Structure 1
């Protein structure tokens, strides 16, 4: 059964420990008890607690000093101090050291429940704020998952069914097909939608810091670790963690990730504390992980753990009917972003898009539309804008030149040379063996003079 959180009650009075255990266990908390400072230190070094209830008058221990130690060892835990000598001075001192709340003996079961619930909510809000700060830039300008083709409809149907479970999902497909967007959509359709969505880019993280990014670290764990760091797994608690391009992680990290996936427990770098995490895992790759397993570059047991539900995203060239819809969406988005009065794309440009192979998939189409918007000189983007935007037509399915007029062949050759010269008409004229005036007249006749 899922617990509401892990609580440590530190008090030398057996009656208070027993009563507290009964009250909090009935509320669904996982409760550990300590009667001495030594027991408390041992438990705190081995486990992470969401809330710690600390009696400030323990035999042979200075309560405020122990509070300072707890905050140093586990800054994310919320400490509620307990004392029978609840003076204002003690309360102020405890709060200055980071205590979340203050309970004075004798306290009722209701007061205990309320103090723990408030402290747990404070921890949730603290982690949520940390998560939001770390992902604010990622959320800005996020693209929707667009598509009406039969291939995309099948993908979305599988995603919707997968979202209703807590099973691990593996997304496969070429770079730029939208695996990250689909991962977020699965999260937003799932019962975990109110929890965080934390993305880990396995392709850009420095290998030596990967473990710290995933599991966090304690102060002094390695050179440069000047403070505690909360890892991605802990940030994703209650939500979804997404591993993008998971095929790039090293074998030693694969082993540690396997343990975290299987046991839903992690340990920060430099610490033996066990942190329990409740996360849903989605992974994505542009590699054939089965081939990576056969080549010995990816662990077979981790592959099977990740590949519970598999969803393949087709490349854009296999869903060409979505190109006009995507182009229209990106046009509107970037016209607004750049403040350009551009509201349409000519049929000729759409036709060129439909012939192109799009090796960079949706991401390449998006970048192309943004460049077209930036360089557009008219409200409707036309063929004359393509070479200014650097649109490469080499990937298009070629039209046989014997079916073209002589003028069309000349036009295409001149435009290829212009693109190669990055729009420099003087240089292009030299390469073509004509003067600049003749080139300008030809471009003007074709409606391409700028």
Structure 2
């Protein structure tokens, strides 16, 4: 890919950059010296100054044009009534950062912290460290006596000011805001989930490497991916769009075309060029949900696109480029898919740098109540009226929601659907006990609904194949069919194991339900993924 442009942002030094007449060239002026460094090719200088320094800014810009004609100088007026007022200076510089069109995928940024007051330098550091300005720092220094006439020296540096209480508090507040944003403003209580969100926030701000989100259907992978994108967009780390696709919906010859594009006439029906989702995501974030459903060819092309930022559209003779960040989602074990040859080991290694396991709703019983409040508020906004529950109705719902009866097999989708239905049927916007009781029965009925494959024969043929199923004894056929139905209706292998061994597990000193179930399936050359493969479409 073409080299990125180098852009430097800095304040005009009203004292250090001052100089008039020919003798100014005998003086060391830090802003001019930036553009005189032989090893520092500056494509653009964003020069900030107040209205009083307009004339000096013009002189400095003219001098830079003389020593570095290839450097574009852009001048910006930024007013400080008191250049030593921390809040005022930070606010003005933060406003500039928010309005500046950063393009980190195409440009590298440095912040010059040699000029300006010490307060301004600290504020610039804060904005760079918090990624409001996606930049590193550069500091210049004058030449010594032996280097008279040279532009001096520069250093690209990192400072650690996090020990300062006021600065640390500011950082902590920004991190709290980011974590709340990632959680959609929901005050979640589950300690493990909150720790995971803290780490995701750190990774989202500091890294452009792929992120892998694992978890059952409805655990919130898609919502979290979009929130990560919006957070990075706020911090000027991404300039492109959010592009999402469920890989389980990509089938046959169209899968490659959908992801990587094609040229007109490359196959029957290709009547015009197609850009492809990877190119659409250039500069942005690509969310590939159910990445384990990709075919072998698409996996190979995706790996190259991640490593080299380029790929070949279908039927094209010239590669195209796209620099995107990837978030992948899956509700299956990719290690198992690698073991059975369904997923590339090298691709998993590439996307497995930052992996987060999202728990299902049943594993976050502490968070059912705050999520209920969130869903009630959302339902009220959609309906244009307040939706509420009486205290006893609320207590009854929470008791049921946290009980073993409540399987929440579709996780937050189940909760959202339940609240939406109750809100719709609530007389006057108040959910009654009768409405709640009817909804509980509806949920229980849905969770106990039979699998799409009704007969044992059809189920075993679908999972094992007709030839292998025909070799089973009648006893094994009946038992295995029962086990498979439990597996197909359970979000995880541990959940299925607990249901299958709910009695015998009480008599064991050490319980490992998942391992017992795995060993049982292995008798029939089955894995968890294979046993549940025909029951899991969608997200």
Tell me the TM-score normalized by structure 1: 0.55
Deviation at 1:193, TM superposition (A): 4.1
Deviation at 1:2, TM superposition (A): 6.5
User: 2:213, 2:330 within 8 Å by CA — same for their partners in 1?
Assistant: yes
Deviation at 1:145, TM superposition (A): 6.7
Report what 2:209 is aligned to: 167
Q: Match for 1:348 among 379, 396, 412?
A: 396
SS of aligned partner of 2:248: coil
**CA offsets 1:204-234 (integer angstroms, 9 cap, x no match):** 1233211111111122222222222211111
Deviation at 1:377, TM superposition (A): 2.2
- The answer to whether residue 340 in structure 2 is matched with residue 295 in structure 1 is yes
Q: Match for 1:391 among 432, 437, 442?
A: 442
Cα distance 1:160–1:244, how it changes in 2: closer, same or farther (>3 A)? same
Q: How many residues align?
A: 273
Cα distance 1:336–1:185, how it changes in 2: closer, same or farther (>3 A)? closer
Q: Match for 1:152 among 163, 169, 193?
A: 193
Report what 1:376 is aligned to: 426
Deviation at 1:244, TM superposition (A): 0.5
Report what 1:131 is aligned to: none
Deviation at 1:335, TM superposition (A): 2.5
SS of aligned partner of 1:198: strand
Q: Match for 1:359 among 409, 432, 436?
A: 409
Tell me the TM-score normalized by structure 2: 0.46
Counterpart CA distance in 2 for 1:167 and 1:312 is 17
Counterparts of residues 37-436 of structure 1 (less than 5 Å): 144=184, 146=186, 147-163=188-204, 164-190=206-232, 191=235, 192-344=237-389, 346=393, 347-355=395-403, 356-389=406-439, 391-393=442-444
User: 1:177, 1:313 within 8 Å by CA — same for their partners in 2?
Assistant: yes
Could you tell me which runs of 5 or more consecutive residues in structure 1 were left unpaired when the two chains were aligned: 6-25, 30-108, 115-120, 125-141, 397-450
SS of aligned partner of 1:203: helix
Cα distance 1:205–1:145, how it changes in 2: closer, same or farther (>3 A)? farther
Counterpart CA distance in 1 for 2:296 and 2:410 is 28
Counterpart CA distance in 2 for 1:338 and 1:260 is 44
Counterpart CA distance in 2 for 1:331 and 1:349 is 13
Counterpart CA distance in 2 for 1:225 and 1:113 is 47
Counterpart CA distance in 2 for 1:28 and 1:299 is 41
Cα distance 1:277–1:145, how it changes in 2: closer, same or farther (>3 A)? farther
SS of aligned partner of 2:286: strand
